[in-house]
């Protein structure tokens, strides 16, 4: 039992009548705040997962109570030690709950500053050794609390790209799991070892490392920085749409993941965020009238992260995003999922005749038979077909599909005349490159000095500026691309897509059409992905990295 009745607590400290009234009130108030905080925290799981407004007041009340609880135990630590028997692991639990609150607030708002706050509380637990005495108590459930804290801390560090801290935490977690399983011989040993394997695979999935001159690791990030997206220059005529909401969906078989975050979801969510700022300094800027006032240009698009959703779940979240999308805003859908191909030949070529990507069947069985054994004249029901997205093209829609059947989404029809773009991954990669982390520029070594890294980053920014010029000055490009180009996040995604596509087309190993990204509507190749000016830049970047030998010099002659 972790809690006692107030009478038991009081009497354990000596004769109940000997306790001063003020101290009795301190313990009573602490017990009230502790119980209230637990009730509110447990109620968080009952809040609707979708919809952006219903949960905010509840989160606010929960934050208020935990703030009072945290300050209260700091101010009255001695009384609580003597009269309540407050243990350090209990303080650690309160700090851990606050860290979880900040993390979940980040998930709800997409504001990366709250990740820093979660990191601060999780770091304090480790630095002050709040859980150090847990191993001395013969209570496996307390050790599990400690292990879960480590797992949550690792997720936050991964999202903040603090890989040096992650590696230390993984080592500590490994030692804790070994001690736990040795002492208690529990049935969850396999699950905890799986956690270790998952995080190890997650770290290895992106092995490129940049080192300072003193061999310390440079933190690299995929988030949008101040100099990330190419600036709009005078004379560039683009739309005024803003990316407001995004669904990031991961449903690939056997993909590297940690918790419910696949490596693809992890990379994409960062691409839709600005670099985090410290919340304390952010909210106390000189001249700010209210702490709730939001600084200019800091809002990130709201995101839903859906790991292996069923079709029903996916459609529910999609409908909620569509409903709440503000005017002049864009909804982005990112699909990283296993391809589903049509089971039989069809005489028609409609939006349900090309397959799509897999949704989670939730182990649905029809009459005891596997679903794919049904009559081939029917369409696959556990699949997101292009036609399933048609209702949502009534508003500006930006779709990215990373799948072995991404080309199914080339078969769109823009029914409502709203801006609509689909960026589609290659459907196959050359066997020689499968499993490599760097497709476009396979490094001789995954280790880079910071000077070389910064030189390449500067050159890539120059390339992105030139791609922006190519796009906005094109006479034949579909207007949808230009409608989306006014938004920083979408502008960077589009320029990266064209750079990646152009690079693959020049690579000696990428020789099949299915090795290249595609798009709907199609980009004018001669003005974008096969533009000689862009090809020259790519060869110069390859020379900087000393990998020019893997690219074709006279690319246009090879088509």
pLDDT at site 285: 31
Mean pLDDT of 239-244: 93
Report the distance separating Cα 2 and Cα 40, nearest Å. 18
β-pairing, 447-449 vs 209-211, is parallel
More confident position, 448 or 364: 448
pLDDT at residue 148 tops 60: yes
Report the distance separating Cα 479 and Cα 238, nearest Å. 9
Per-residue pLDDT band for 51 (boundaries 50, 70, 90) equals confident
pLDDT at site 437: 43
Point out the least confidently predicted range of 190-199, 330-339, 443-452, 511-520.
443-452
Render pLDDT for 188-238 as a digit per residue (tens, 0 to 9). Answer: 888 999 999 999 999 888 766 777 777 777 777 788 887 778 888 777 788
pLDDT at site 446: 54
Report the distance separating Cα 539 and Cα 514, nearest Å. 23
Per-residue pLDDT band for 397 (boundaries 50, 70, 90) equals very high
pLDDT at site 55: 85
Render pLDDT for 157-189 as a digit per residue (tens, 0 to 9). Answer: 999 988 889 999 999 999 999 999 888 878 888
Report the distance separating Cα 210 and Cα 348, nearest Å. 52
Report the distance separating Cα 479 and Cα 476, nearest Å. 9
User: Percent of the chain beyond pLDDT 90?
Assistant: 60
Whole-prediction pTM value?
A: 0.87
Cα angle at 247 between 245 and 250, to 5 degrees?
Answer: 160
Point out the least confidently predicted range of 1-5, 22-26, 313-317, 489-493.
1-5
pLDDT at residue 559 tops 60: no
Mean pLDDT of 331-349: 86
| Domains, the chain, with CATH or none | 20-205 (1.25.40), 242-277+299-362+380-550 (3.40.50)
pLDDT at site 254: 83
pLDDT at residue 458 tops 60: yes
Average pLDDT, the chain: 85
Q: Locate tokens 């596997």: which residue?
A: 370
User: Contacts for 193-202 with beta carbons within 8 Å, 24 or more apart?
Assistant: 195/151, 196/170, 198/256, 198/257, 198/258, 198/259, 199/154, 199/158, 199/166, 199/170, 199/258, 200/170, 201/256, 202/158, 202/256, 202/257, 202/258, 202/263, 202/266
Mean pLDDT of 372-398: 85
Mean pLDDT of 410-428: 93
pLDDT at site 502: 95
Render pLDDT for 93-131 as a digit per residue (tens, 0 to 9). Answer: 999 999 999 999 999 989 988 999 999 999 999 999 999
């Amino acid at each position: 039992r972790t809690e006692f009745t107030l009478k038991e607590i009081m009497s354990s400290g000596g004769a109940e009548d000997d306790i001063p009234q003020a101290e009795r009130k301190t313990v009573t108030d602490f017990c009230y705040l502790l119980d209230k905080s637990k009730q509110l925290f447990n109620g968080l799981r009952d809040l609707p997962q979708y919809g952006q407004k219903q949960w905010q007041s509840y989160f606010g009340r929960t934050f208020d109570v935990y703030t009072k609880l945290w300050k209260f135990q700091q101010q009255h630590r001695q009384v609580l030690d003597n009269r309540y028997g407050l243990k350090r692991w209990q303080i650690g639990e309160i700090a851990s709950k606050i860290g979880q609150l900040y993390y979940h607030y980040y998930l709800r708002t997409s504001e990366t500053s709250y990740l820093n706050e979660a990191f601060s509380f999780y770091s304090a637990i480790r630095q002050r050794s709040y859980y150090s005495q847990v191993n001395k108590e013969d209570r496996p459930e307390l050790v599990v609390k400690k292990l879960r804290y480590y797992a949550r801390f690792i997720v936050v560090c991964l999202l903040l790209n603090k890989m040096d801290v992650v590696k230390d935490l993984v080592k500590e977690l490994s030692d804790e799991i070994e001690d736990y399983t040795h002492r208690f011989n529990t049935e969850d040993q396999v699950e905890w070892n799986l956690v270790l394997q998952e995080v190890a695979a997650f770290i290895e999935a992106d092995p490129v490392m940049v080192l300072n001159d003193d061999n310390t690791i440079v933190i690299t990030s995929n988030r949008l920085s101040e100099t990330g997206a190419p600036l709009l220059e005078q004379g560039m005529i683009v739309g005024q749409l803003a990316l407001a909401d995004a669904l990031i969906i991961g449903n690939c078989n056997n993909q590297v993941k940690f918790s419910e975050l696949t490596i693809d979801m992890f990379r994409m969510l960062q691409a839709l965020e600005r670099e985090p700022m410290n919340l304390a300094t952010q909210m106390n800027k000189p001249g700010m009238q209210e702490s709730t006032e939001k600084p200019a240009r800091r809002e990130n698009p709201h995101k839903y992260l859906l790991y292996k959703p069923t079709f029903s779940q996916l459609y529910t979240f999609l409908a909620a995003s569509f409903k709440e999308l503000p005017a002049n805003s864009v909804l982005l859908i990112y699909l990283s999922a296993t391809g589903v191909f049509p089971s039989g030949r069809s005489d028609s070529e409609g939006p349900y005749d090309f397959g799509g990507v897999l949704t989670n069947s939730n182990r649905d069985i029809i009459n005891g038979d596997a679903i794919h054994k049904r009559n081939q004249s029917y369409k696959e029901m556990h699949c997101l077909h292009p036609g399933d997205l048609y209702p949502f093209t009534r508003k500006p829609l930006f779709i990215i599909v990373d799948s072995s059947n991404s080309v199914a989404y080339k078969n769109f029809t823009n029914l409502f005349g709203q801006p609509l773009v689909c960026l589609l991954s290659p459907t196959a990669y050359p066997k020689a490159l499968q499993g490599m982390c760097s497709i476009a520029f396979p490094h001789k070594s995954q280790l880079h000095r910071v000077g070389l890294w910064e030189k390449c980053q500067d050159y890539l920014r120059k390339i992105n500026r030139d791609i922006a010029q190519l796009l906005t000055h094109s006479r034949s490009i579909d207007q949808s691309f230009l409608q989306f180009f006014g938004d920083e996040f979408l502008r960077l995604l589009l320029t990266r897509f064209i750079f990646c596509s152009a690079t693959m087309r020049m690579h000696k190993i990428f020789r099949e059409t299915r090795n290249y990204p595609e798009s709907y509507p199609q980009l004018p190749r001669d003005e974008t992905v096969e533009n000689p000016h862009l090809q020259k830049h790519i060869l110069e970047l390859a020379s900087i990295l000393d990998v020019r030998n893997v690219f074709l010099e006279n690319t246009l002659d090879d088509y």
